[in-house]
């Protein structure tokens, strides 16, 4: 998906330099394929990065941001065009650069997601290990006593009773 955005951005930067009809047709086909590939792989990438349980929220945020950029982008690019310019060279360079920049920013997401999953898994294992230690059985005079929040109190009472019996 990211490579499709980078490829589409590069094509858009090159668009003002295409002067013949057949070159514009090739541009249109390639940009169409890049956009279709990015659209098809969006939900797959979201599931891989965020998990299936977060797919609907993540897609909603993606479409929200796409809508905001569709509303805000054209007026901002319109500000980049001045009547003194012969053609829209700067507009296409800015638009293509932003599209490619979005693709480049998305490249490290998989590694960041994997690091976050490993971190969560490590925390979960540590908590599980700690929980296992807390739930071990203690034996007082060969009588099993479950270790819980009140175990310290039970052990203290037992030791006090032992001390009294010895005295």
Domain segments of the chain as ranges: 2-127, 137-166
Decide: 108 and 97 in contact? Cβ < 8 Å: no
The 8-class DSSP code of residue 51 comes to: -
What pLDDT tens digit does each residue of the chain (167 aa) get? Answer: 788 889 999 999 999 888 899 999 999 999 999 989 988 888 888 888 888 888 899 999 999 998 998 999 888 888 877 777 667 788 888 889 988 998 898 888 888 888 887 887 777 666 666 665 555 555 555 565 555 555 566 666 666 777 777 66
- Give the pLDDT confidence score for residue 57 in this predicted structure: 92
Which residues have CB under 8 Å from 104's CB, separation 6+?
A: 2, 6
- Give the pLDDT confidence score for residue 124 in this predicted structure: 67
The 8-class DSSP code of residue 85 comes to: S
**Cα separation of 44 and 98, whole Å?**
23
81-91 burial: b if 16+ Cβ within 10 Å, else e: eeeeeeeeeeb
Which residues have CB under 8 Å from 81's CB, separation 6+?
A: 88, 90, 91
């Amino acid at each position: 998906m990211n490579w499709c955005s980078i490829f589409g951005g590069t094509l858009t930067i090159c668009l003002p330099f295409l002067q013949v009809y057949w070159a514009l047709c090739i541009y249109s086909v390639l940009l169409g394929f890049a956009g279709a590939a990015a659209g098809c792989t969006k939900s797959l990438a979201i599931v891989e990065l965020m998990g299936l349980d977060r797919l609907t929220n993540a897609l909603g945020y993606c479409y929200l941001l796409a809508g905001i950029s569709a509303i805000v982008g054209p007026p901002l690019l319109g500000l980049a065009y001045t009547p003194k310019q012969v053609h829209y060279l700067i507009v296409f360079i800015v638009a293509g650069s932003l599209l490619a920049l979005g693709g480049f920013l998305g490249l490290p997401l998989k590694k960041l997601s994997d690091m976050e999953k490993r971190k969560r898994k490590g925390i979960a294992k540590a908590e599980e290990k700690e929980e296992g230690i807390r739930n071990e059985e203690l034996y007082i005079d060969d009588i099993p006593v479950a270790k819980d929040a009140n175990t310290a109190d039970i052990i203290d009472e037992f030791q006090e009773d032992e001390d009294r019996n010895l005295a």
